[in-house]
Amino acid sequence: MRRYLEATTEVFPVAGSFTISRGSRTEVRVVVCSISQDGIKGVGECVPYTRYGESIEGVMADIQAVSDVISNGLDRHELQHIMKPGAARNAVDCALWDLEAKLSGKTVASTLLPVALKPIVTAYTISLGDADTMAAKAAENAARPLLKIKTGTDDDEARLRAVRAAAPSAQIIIDANEGWTYDNIEHHLTIAAELNIALIEQPLPAGKDAILARINRPVAICADESVHLTADLASLRDRYDAINIKLDKTGGLTEALLMKREAERLGYTIMIGCMLGTSLGMAPALLLAQDTAYADLDGPLLLARDRVPGLTYEGSLVHPPKPELWG
């Protein structure tokens, strides 16, 4: 049994631009890992994230560095010990899951879940902009059941009020991307509670969030940048009510499954999230999101084009992946 690993990069244009508190993007660059055995190929996608010190070049090098051990039959469980968590390991881990499924003739879902995969509702993300622009986008998508709005400025009150007025029936998640401060967080929490916001993601910078354990939290707070590994969970429980599990943070589906199990044990509300990527990056996460409170797997909806075949989206409903895509 000999396996062959290859890593390539691809570029997908964003539909317009995608803006958060740290900047804007007009394209997304992904790394795809493929692992072949006996003429069968498994694939996995990752998105290097500069916030975590990652780059396309670094991730490509990290993947190529394990080529020899993968060729000699290294499995997913051993992989956890020789690659650090992050985007590179995610691509390799998911490629191994996909390869195992295709070699066995059994889907990944059938090996992990007691029932068949079902379509789930995903959040739809509205980029950071001025209040009027965000309200207009919210109005266009007001029929969607779950909206996620990017914030993270000193004065987000006008944005929150405008979006809520434009989408009065939608459940809304706020994602501040570490952009709020000790000086304004309580004010923004008060406004969020008044507007019946469902969840607030990472309002303060990771490592500078101690105040969350001391102040009143009238809206549930979700850790994103603050949580990467299963080992992070216990120490965050006094500050956060929920966690966002992303495969590019955990380093793949294998670790994400462990994190989800431990998060459930600790009583966290769970969101399954994503970086801005294609259907290939979303597909493994759909398995995790089958029974969670929130899914934020709208990456392909924000692109000008997706890969083919891709996931099927009907409004905010995303259907399970076909084996031709992944798993």
Catalytic residue selected from 150, 208, 249, 260? 150
Query: Which token pair is 297?
Result: 């797997």
pLDDT, tens digit only, all 327 positions of the chain:
789 999 999 999 999 888 887 778 899 999 999 999 999 999 999 999 999 999 999 999 999 999 999 988 888 999 999 999 999 999 999 999 999 999 999 999 999 988 889 999 999 999 999 999 999 999 999 999 999 999 999 889 999 999 999 999 999 999 999 999 999 999 999 999 999 999 999 999 999 999 999 999 999 999 999 999 999 999 999 999 999 999 999 999 999 999 999 999 999 999 999 999 999 999 999 999 999 999 999 999 999 999 999 999 999 999 999 999 999
Q: Tell me if 117 sits within 8 A of 288, measured CB to CB.
A: no
Residue 213, phi then psi, degrees to nearest 5: -80, -15
- Which pLDDT belongs to residue 23? 79
Examine the residue annotation and report whether 208 is marked as an active-site residue of this protein: no
- Which pLDDT belongs to residue 16? 86
Q: 36-46 burial, b for 16+ CB within 10 Å, e for fewer?
A: bbeeebbbbbb
Q: 314-323 burial, b for 16+ CB within 10 Å, e for fewer?
A: eebebebbee
- Which pLDDT belongs to residue 84? 96
- 140: helix, coil or strand? helix
Q: Tell me if 245 sits within 8 A of 270, measured CB to CB.
A: yes
This prediction has a pTM of: 0.96
Query: Which token pair is 111?
Result: 């090996």
Crossing angle for the helix pair 87-104 and 56-64, nearest 10 degrees?
50
Q: Which domains does the chain have, with CATH numbers?
A: 4-105 (3.30.390.10), 112-318 (3.20.20.120)
Catalytic residue selected from 102, 137, 246, 260? 246
- Which pLDDT belongs to residue 20? 87
Strand-strand pairing, 269-272 and 294-295 = parallel
3-state secondary structure 158-205: HHHHHHHHHCCCCEEEEECCCCCCCCCHHHHHHHHHHCCCCEEECCCC
Examine the residue annotation and report whether 150 is marked as an active-site residue of this protein: yes
